[in-house]
Amino acid sequence: MTEYADLHLCPPLDDVSNSRSMADLLLELNTGTVGLVLPPERSGRTPIVHDVFKNAGLEVARRINLKPKSRNDLLRSLRRYRNQYEIVAVECSSFLVSRVAVRDRRVDVVYFPKTVRSNPFHPRLAKTCRAALEINISELISSPNPGTSLFGLRRDIETAVEASTAVIGSTGASKPFDLRSPRDISSILNLIGLPLHDSLNAVSTVPLGIVRRNRSRLNEPQLEQGVRILRRSDRDA
């Protein structure tokens, strides 16, 4: 049976009732893994809504949304927060930030808000992109001009496909009304240009791979880039 994920949930962290409703609906929609956005000031102490999702039977990954103003701001944040979160996402609001974010191995997800028209997912960025490009369905739901947002998302998808950039589909939901089933997200991605196989992977294998890879890394840190501990001797036990 296929496992599905939505790596971008941002419910109010003090609204338990809202999170319970979201968790119940996610289970009905067959979403098993979620990325819960936790701002840095709340990272030290796990908020109660984290346990609400977890106790409902969902696998919960901690996510941070970085919104750097400059290249140096991004690099400082990555040094500080990379090892505190299973998902590091960067909002690319300028070309200088985007150029660093797409190349840095510490970044898992990049997304290009359609409110910033001057910084699209340019082919030059796509060719060097190591992160996954995130398409947030919430941009279509909440956009005052869905036609413009749809055009921008289609353009990003086309650029990603041409460069073989990994794509993930998320809701960006903050309340139950914003949630969508993985199959619905996949269908929307396919409708705006992502091949069917890739659109299914965008809500399953690609986001799940991000969580599992980083969870493994956090549990067993790499000695250096590309080196992992595969087995310990009996003397280390």
pLDDT in tens, 116-140: 666 789 999 999 999 999 999 988 8
184-190 CB contacts, 8 Å cutoff, 24+ apart = 185/6, 185/137, 188/137, 188/140, 189/135, 189/157
CB 167 within 8 A of CB 160: yes
pLDDT digits (tens, 9 = 90+) for 142-156: 766 777 778 888 999
- Domain extent, residue 164, equals 5-236
Mean of the per-residue pLDDT values for the chain? 89
Please tell me the predicted confidence (pLDDT) of residue 118: 64
Please tell me the predicted confidence (pLDDT) of residue 237: 41
Q: How confident is the model at residue 16 (pLDDT cuts 50, 70, 90)?
A: very high
The share of the chain scoring above pLDDT 90, in percent, equals: 74
Inter-axis angle of helices 16-28 and 48-55, nearest 10: 30
Pairing of strands 87-91, 109-111: parallel
Lowest mean pLDDT among 64-73, 103-112, 224-233: 224-233
Q: What CATH number is attached to the domain comprising 219?
A: 3.20.20.140
Question: pTM here?
Answer: 0.89
Cβ count within 10 A of residue 12:
12
> What is the arithmetic mean of pLDDT over 90-94?
93
Chain centroid to Cα 118, Å, comes to: 22
Indicate if the alpha-carbon torsion angle 185, 191, 194, 196 is positive or negative.
positive
Three-state SS sequence of the chain: CCCCEEEEECCCCCCHHHHHHHHHHHHHCCCCEEEEECCHHHCCCCCHHHHHHHHCCCEEEEEEEECCCCHHHHHHHHHHHHHHCCEEEEECCCHHHHHHHCCCCCCCEEECCCCCCCCCCCHHHHCCCCCEEEEECHHHHHCCCHHHHHHHHHHHHHHHHHHCCCEEEECCECCHHHCCCHHHHHHHHHHCCCCHHHHHHCCCHHHHHHHHHHHHHHHCCCCECCECCCCCCHHHC
Overall domain count for the chain? 1
Burial of 217 (0-12, 13-18, 19+ CB in 10 A): middle
